[in-house]
Amino acid sequence: MLSTITLFTALTLITSLLTTTATATTIPTSTQTTNPQPPPLSYAILLFRAFDLLDVNGPLSPLQLLAHSYPLTLSLLARTLDPVTTRPASPSMNPHNASFWPSLTPTHTFATAPENLDVLIVPGGLGSRSPDLEPEIAYLRAAFPKVRYLITICTGAGVAARAGVLDGRRATTNKRAWGEITAMGPGVRWVAPARWVVDGHIWSSSGVTAGLDLIYAFIKEMYPDGHELAATIAGGSEYEPHNSTYDPFSSLFNVPTQNQL
Amino acid sequence: MLSTITLFTALTLITSLLTTTATATTIPTSTQTTNPQPPPLSYAILLFRAFDLLDVNGPLSPLQLLAHSYPLTLSLLARTLDPVTTRPASPSMNPHNASFWPSLTPTHTFATAPENLDVLIVPGGLGSRSPDLEPEIAYLRAAFPKVRYLITICTGAGVAARAGVLDGRRATTNKRAWGEITAMGPGVRWVAPARWVVDGHIWSSSGVTAGLDLIYAFIKEMYPDGHELAATIAGGSEYEPHNSTYDPFSSLFNVPTQNQL
């Protein structure tokens, strides 16, 4: 077995490599982004009862690895500081009375959330259809004009649509839940097929795992060394990100082609 | 906008479909598993400081959807009931002083963990290399003879190797961390290339996102209607699971071929 000192030396080296990658980009390359804005540093994620664990943690895992190269902050926002459970609110949504529902504990309420966030992420999940999302929708509507980027994952686009912030914008959502979610935003220019869609400062992904592909594309676009960092993080995570046109699920779920990419 | 009643009717229908899928399998089909054991119902996941969020939540998200069809239970185990942070223990592992480290709150300590678990999941993450894992390793060593299935994700195989429970068994781990992790288990028959490896009741996955592929294979194998449920869950999650031979990362990270699948 390796000594613990050796282990930590190896780990430090890996971190150093990531850090070095983050700072060794003064020479422009063909893959370098031309985004002139400062890179996003302050992230928040909007939590509500019965959010999907992967909608939230799929993007957060690569961002945590990015946080080895940038001083990122993450706020977990909810209506109160009580833990937010993934247990569905209605017993009919849990017909076998399963007990498989971890919680996340918020860092801020909507009332105490940081102002002027760089990125606000809205996940989906069974809870995104709840009629009891008024505090979440009110926060989203109020915060939207002040955030630099809004990211929706999966049926989180339904929450954003209910807040009205997607009206007139191009967006996508989960293809199995397509009819249900798009009905929440008749003024939205819903796009299919698409793995994810960018319209100005609004990024929206298709279902659940599409959030991983969106966040890799976001990292590439937003950070000066984003292409290199995304490749490093994806390699260590053993993930090959899809591009925005990958979408076998639109045809699987008979979603009609509209507002094409 | 759909009325809330319509929304919940639609949601109930989706759940009913999942439930129906779970019970309408009395007719054997070519895809039906022949596993004669009762399906696993009690799951636990071993948490330690600086676990990877996706190692944990990648498998948990599909299992939560499976919990619409089976009365699954999930225990979150740790040395104490304090929230387990993803923040690395060493400041050198957080060189930019980022603040991007959600916690999970355990449901049990190792001392109060349920006995005779069906499935114990060991995730990886930076913390899997920590010298300070004695309570976790002691628990794993003691619980291993009593669990029906052990699942390791990513560098979680290193934790299991340090507990000695992989000795003489075939297993795999993260390909970027290959040398570091395999050195923790010189008695393990490490397998590469491989997306995941099954040796008896031990299932081990490659890095991070490979945990998703492993859990879909596990669902297919373990539940009478597993193939149908896995397809339904993967479709709704917009995920196309890889098979066990998918592994572009072994060559990417120069991992030599050994103990082939």
* pLDDT tens-digit series, residues A145-196: 999 999 999 999 999 999 999 999 999 999 999 999 999 999 999 999 999 9
- What average pLDDT does the structure give for chain A? 89
Mean pLDDT of the A58-78 span: 97
Q: Does A92 touch chain B (CB under 8 A)?
A: yes
- A86 → chain B, closest CA residue: B64
Percent pLDDT > 70 in chain B is 87
Q: d(Cα B146, Cα B143) in Å, to the nearest integer? A: 5
A239 or B22, which is more confident?
Answer: A239
The ipTM estimated for the assembled molecules is 0.87
Q: How far is CA A183 from the centre of its chain?
A: 22
Interface test with B, best of A47, A52, A54 (most B CBs within 10 A): A54
Select from A180, A132, A134 the least CA-distant residue to A157.
Answer: A180
Would you place residue B34 in the very low, low, confident or very high pLDDT band (cuts 50, 70, 90)? low
- A161 → chain B, closest CA residue: B1
- Name residues 168-187 of chain B within 8 A of A (Cβ): 174-177, 180, 183-184, 186
pLDDT of A4 > 80? The answer is no
- B15 → chain A, closest CA residue: A93
The structure tokens listed for A56 are 């939230």
Please indicate whether, in this complex, the C-beta atoms of B208 and A239 are within 8 angstroms of each other: yes
CA distance B186 to chain A (A): 7
Residues of B in contact with A104 (CB under 8 A): 102, 104
Interface test with A, best of B18, B90, B100, B209 (most A CBs within 10 A): B100
Residue type, A44: A
The structure tokens listed for A247 are 């979408």
CA distance B189 to chain A (A): 15
CA distance A25 to chain B (A): 17
Q: How far is CA A24 from the centre of its chain?
A: 27
- What average pLDDT does the structure give for chain B? 89
Q: d(Cα A56, Cα A151) in Å, to the nearest integer? A: 11
pLDDT for the residue numbered B23? 36
Question: 3-state DSSP helix/strand/coil percent for chain A, to nearest 5?
Answer: 35, 15, 50
Q: Compare CB distances from B236 to A176, A212, A235 and report the shortest one's residue.
A: A176
Can you list the domains of chain B with their CATH numbers?
Answer: 39-89+103-252 (3.40.50.880)
Q: How far is CA B166 from the centre of its chain?
A: 16
- A185 → chain B, closest CA residue: B1
pLDDT of B94 > 60? The answer is yes
Instruction: Put residue A149 in one of left, alpha, beta given phi > 0 → left and psi -120 to 50 → alpha.
Output: beta
Q: Does B67 touch chain A (CB under 8 A)?
A: yes
B149-169 pLDDT tens trace: 999 999 999 999 999 999 999
- B87 → chain A, closest CA residue: A64
Q: Does A104 touch chain B (CB under 8 A)?
A: yes
Burial of residue B231 (number of CB atoms within 10 Å: 0-12, 13-18, 19+)? middle
The structure tokens listed for A185 are 């935003």
CA distance A199 to chain B (A): 22
pLDDT for the residue numbered B19? 37
pLDDT of A25 > 70? The answer is no
Would you place residue A36 in the very low, low, confident or very high pLDDT band (cuts 50, 70, 90)? confident
Q: d(Cα A170, Cα A187) in Å, to the nearest integer? A: 10
Q: How many CB atoms lie within 10 A of CB A251?
A: 12
Strand B149-152 to B119-122 pairing: parallel
Q: d(Cα A235, Cα B9) in Å, to the nearest integer? A: 42
Residue type, B211: G
Please indicate whether, in this complex, the C-beta atoms of B238 and A2 are within 8 angstroms of each other: no
Burial of residue A162 (number of CB atoms within 10 Å: 0-12, 13-18, 19+)? buried
Q: What separation in angstroms does the CA of B212 have from each of A5, A185, B53?
A: 32, 31, 13
- Name residues 29-58 of chain B within 8 A of A (Cβ): 43, 52-54, 56-58
Residues of A in contact with B52 (CB under 8 A): 61, 64
Residues of B in contact with A209 (CB under 8 A): 212, 237-239
In total, the C-beta contacts within 8 angstroms joining chain A to chain B are: 210
Strand B196-199 to B202-205 pairing: antiparallel
Cβ–Cβ < 8 Å for B191, B197: yes
Report the 3 state secondary structure along B141-168. HHHHHHCCEEEECCCHHHHHHHCCCCCC
